[in-house]
Amino acid sequence: MNINPNVYSKVLFKIIRSGNRHIGFGGGFHACIAAVFARAEIVEILQGVLKSFPNLSLSITSTILNGQIIRILTALRLRL
């Protein structure tokens, strides 16, 4: 969450606020210390979903937006 007082007058969590430049997990010196934990949680969640739905498959090709720095998955349609 960007809490820079030069950018925002109030420090409060508002997920739909405008002008929020996404900083994600960051990188290098500014890397989020919880990023490793968050990624481990995602692995556990996906393993649980795949175990619960063994026939899970892609229904169509996923949609990927190629950004300047990263690729962004914009849609992932699944078939149970």
Q: What is the pLDDT along the chain (80 residues), one digit of tens a residue?
A: 556 667 666 666 666 666 656 656 666 666 777 888 888 998 999 899 989 999 988 877 777 777 777 777 777 788 88
> What is the per-residue pLDDT for 41?
93
Question: What's residue 58's pLDDT?
Answer: 81
In the chain, alpha helices (H):
35-52
pLDDT given for residue 53 in this prediction: 92
- How far is residue 32's CA from residue 70's CA, in Å, rounded to a whole number? 17
Cβ-proximal residues to 30 (8 Å cutoff; 6+ apart), any chain: 23
For residue 7, the Cα-to-chain-centroid distance in whole angstroms is: 23
CA 79/CA 39 separation, integer angstroms: 24
Helix (H, G, I), strand (E, B) or coil at 11: coil
